[in-house]
Amino acid sequence: MNEKVIIFDTSLRDGEQALQASLSVKEKLQIALALERMKVDVMEVGFPISSPGDFNSVREISKNIKNTIICSLARCVEKDIDAAADAMSVLDNFRIHVFLGTSNLHMQSKLRKNFGEIVNMAIHSIKYAKRYTNDIEFSCEDAGRTSLDNLCKIVECAISAGANTINIPDTVGYTLPNQFSNIIKVLYDKVPNIDQAVLSVHCHDDLGMAVGNSISAILSGARQIEGTMNGIGERAGNAALEEVIMAIKSRQDILKVHTNIEFKEIYRTSKIISQICNMPIPANKAIIGSNAFSHSSGIHQDGILKNRKNYEIIAPQEIGLKEVQLNLTSRSGRAAVRHRMQQMGYQDSEYHIDELYVSFLKLADKKGQVFDYDLEALAFINNQQETPEYFRLEYFNVKSSTSGSATASVTLVCGKEIVTKSATTSNGPVDAVYRALQKISSYKILLQKFQLFAKGQGKDALGQVDIIVDYRDRKFHGIGLATDIIESSAQAMVNVLNSIWRANQVILTLNKSNEL
């Protein structure tokens, strides 16, 4: 039997820290549950010392994930390690991942320490973390630009101190596959206790080499691959796990390793992360892009009709992608909607059937027939709404003219009150609606990003609006979904207003606690 490669997902840590707006606890939990269903081995879910929100997210995920090892990141600093352990304390078993820069550049310009001091910090932190768990991972940050002698020395010391996973990150995506492969080979050749730890790699994609470097590391003996779904992450992103996983599955003849991944969950997990993180998947993205299994050339179409293997090395069904004709209308019942969601691979716990069904009926009345992509979009949006929902859009009316003037009247439920305000602007109907909403909420916000996506095809396609706003130097993300663009724009802003309201409630609660 060939050896197993451990799949370490860091979408909720490295991936999330690169987003334009932080995810809520509920959004992170939804992603974590999807990753668990995909059967990733280790899930790095946050950096607890970085913020109370990150700490709470790690704790909440730790309470709900049962079958995947939960991991938290910490610098080689005692308070970081304490926070990581505290956040995961509800678990019997968990991993603490400590990291420290080892390249000359990092040591001199960032840490202001010599190599001897770096080694001592690593040893102390690993031994300190062992007070909480026996599952310790140590990362040599910027390993790709670290001298091989220093790298071998600190890896040997880290293993002796108690680290049972050693991670070799190409932190800035600098190395080429043959170089990275050589680093792994040298570690196996020159570190005497290397057999006492799992060798892991964490590759970034600055030169487009992340997946290639990860695969070259496997060929040289690495047995844990770190990455993110859809390749999200700092700068150009991380190694895309779906690509690494399917390369391992498809090229058993060369790689001779396997994973425990549930392949049919890949597409669904990718879609969930794309939707929640507001990170659209490029059409030509390998494995999960919309064009990955489409064929336009007449020669290709002829070959596909005769035998799909002529032009497809992976069957779409392998990753859970199905082309299904669906005939759901306003006459369809709740059971039919739930059944279709189950057919697409969703469990009841991942969405709220009553909320989904209400949204489904409204959409079905507007467009007649509802398709798979409609249901997915509705389920994702509904599942991201957190309680309590202080603001609720009751009604809006917009008047616009070719002269550019637009007036909007908006009625908003604000807690137990119903408030109506109007606004006029020369920047169009959406801006008029936003100005009216700002008058009602009294929040001084700055719209930084507005994106519109078509969910589906034709004139009845759903319009999804994603916005990023700045409020008191914090960024908030909002999503709206409707067949009417102005309505979806309004919903997105109301979504933001509710997020701001909840954030303010947290601050008020903390202030009261401090007063006591």
pLDDT of residue 85 exceeding 80, the answer is yes
Domain limits for position 311: 293-322
Say if residue 429 is in the same domain as residue 380.
no
Give the separation between CA 46 and CA 14, rounded to whole angstroms: 8
* CA–CA distance, 409 with 429 (Å, rounded to integer): 10
- CA pair distance 138, 126, nearest whole angstrom: 8
Same domain, 403 and 373: no
The chain-wide mean pLDDT, for the chain, equals 89
Specify the amino acid at residue 171. Answer: T
Q: What angle do CA 11, 481, 479 make, to 5 degrees?
A: 45
Q: Are residues 164 and 271 in the same domain?
A: yes
Local structure of 15: helix, strand or coil: helix
Q: Residue 381 above 70 pLDDT?
A: no
156 and 214 both lie in a single domain: yes
Number of separate domains in the chain: 4
pLDDT band with cut points at 50, 70 and 90 for residue 17: confident
**379 with 397, same domain?**
no
How far from each other are the two terminal CA atoms of the chain, in whole angstroms?
A: 62
377 and 396: one domain? no
Q: Which of 64-78, 205-219, 410-424, 475-489 has the lowest mean pLDDT?
A: 475-489
Q: How confident is the model at residue 173 (pLDDT cuts 50, 70, 90)?
A: very high
List the CATH number of the domain containing 43.
Answer: 3.20.20.70
Residues 264 and 351 placed together within one structural domain of the fold: no
Asked whether residue 282 is assigned to any structural domain, the reply reads: no
Residue 419 belongs to what H/E stretch?
strand 417-425
- Give the pLDDT confidence score for residue 344 in this predicted structure: 74
Could you read off the pLDDT of 407-446 as tens digits, one per residue?
999 999 999 999 999 999 988 999 999 999 999 999 999 9
Highest mean pLDDT among 4-8, 292-296, 394-398, 463-467: 4-8
User: What pLDDT shows up at residue 511?
Assistant: 61
**Strand pairing report for 198-203 and 224-227:** parallel
Q: What is the pLDDT of residue 326?
A: 44
Burial (0-12, 13-18, 19+ Cβ within 10 Å), 182: middle
Question: Domain check: are 305 and 403 in the same one?
Answer: no
Helix 52-64 to helix 78-87 angle (10° resolution) is: 40
Q: Which of 242, 181, 187 has the alpha carbon at shortest distance from 215? A: 181
Residue 360, Ramachandran bin (φ over 0: left; ψ between -120 and 50: alpha; else beta): alpha
Q: What is the DSSP string of 122-183?
A: HHHHHHHHTTT-SEEEEEEETGGGS-HHHHHHHHHHHHHHT-SEEEEEETTS---HHHHHHH
User: Percent of the chain beyond pLDDT 90?
Assistant: 61
**pLDDT for res 384:** 52
Same domain, 74 and 197: yes
Please list, in sequence order, all residues whose beta carbon lies within 8 angstroms of the beta carbon of residue 292, skipping any fewer than 6 positions away. 284, 285, 286, 316
407's tokens: 């007036």
Question: % helix / strand / coil in the chain, to the nearest 5?
Answer: 50, 20, 30
**224-227 and 417-425 strand pairing:** unpaired
Q: pLDDT tens digits for 354-377?
A: 888 888 888 787 666 676 666 776
Cβ-contact 117, 106 below 8 angstroms: no
Residues 300 and 418 in one domain: no
β-bridge mates for residue 170, sequence order: 203
CATH of the domain at 457: 3.30.160.270
Picking from 384, 404, 422, the residue at the C-terminal end of a domain is 384
Tokens 């909840």 sit on residue = 502
Q: Distance between CA atoms of 430 and 411, rounded to whole angstroms? A: 15
With beta carbons less than 8 A apart as the criterion, state whether 201 and 222 touch: yes
pTM of the model: 0.74
317 & 340 share domain:
no
Q: Which of 426, 514, 442, 500 is nearest to 467 (CA)?
A: 500
Tokens of residue 240, six digits: 């895309």
Neighbour-count burial of 229, counting CB atoms closer than 10 A to its CB (0-12 exposed, 13-18 middle, 19+ buried): buried
Residue entry with tokens 């396609």: 461
Look at residue 509 in the predicted model and tell me its pLDDT: 61
Strand ranges (DSSP E) for 18-164?
42-44, 69-75, 95-101, 135-141
Query: Stretch 117-126: mean pLDDT, rounded?
Result: 98
Nearest-angstrom CA–CA distance, 237 and 505: 34
Q: What type of residue sits at position 345?
A: G
Query: DSSP letters along 372-409, please?
Result: HHHHHHHHHHHHHPPSP--EEEEEEEEEE-TTS-EEEE
Residue with the bigger pLDDT between 300 and 281: it is 281
Indicate whether 308 and 409 sit together in one domain. Answer: no
Q: Does residue 30 sit in helix, strand or coil?
A: helix
| Within a domain: 283 | no
Q: Is residue 256 included in any domain, yes or no?
A: yes
Whether 366 is covered by a domain: the verdict is yes
20-62 pLDDT, tens per residue? 777 889 899 999 999 999 999 999 999 999 988 899 999 999 9
pLDDT, residue 324, reads: 42
Residue range 175-186: average pLDDT?
98
- The dihedral region occupied by 383, where left means phi > 0, alpha psi between -120 and 50, and beta the remainder, is alpha
Q: Is residue 66 part of a domain?
A: yes
Q: Which of 75-79, 109-113, 468-472 has the lowest mean pLDDT?
A: 468-472
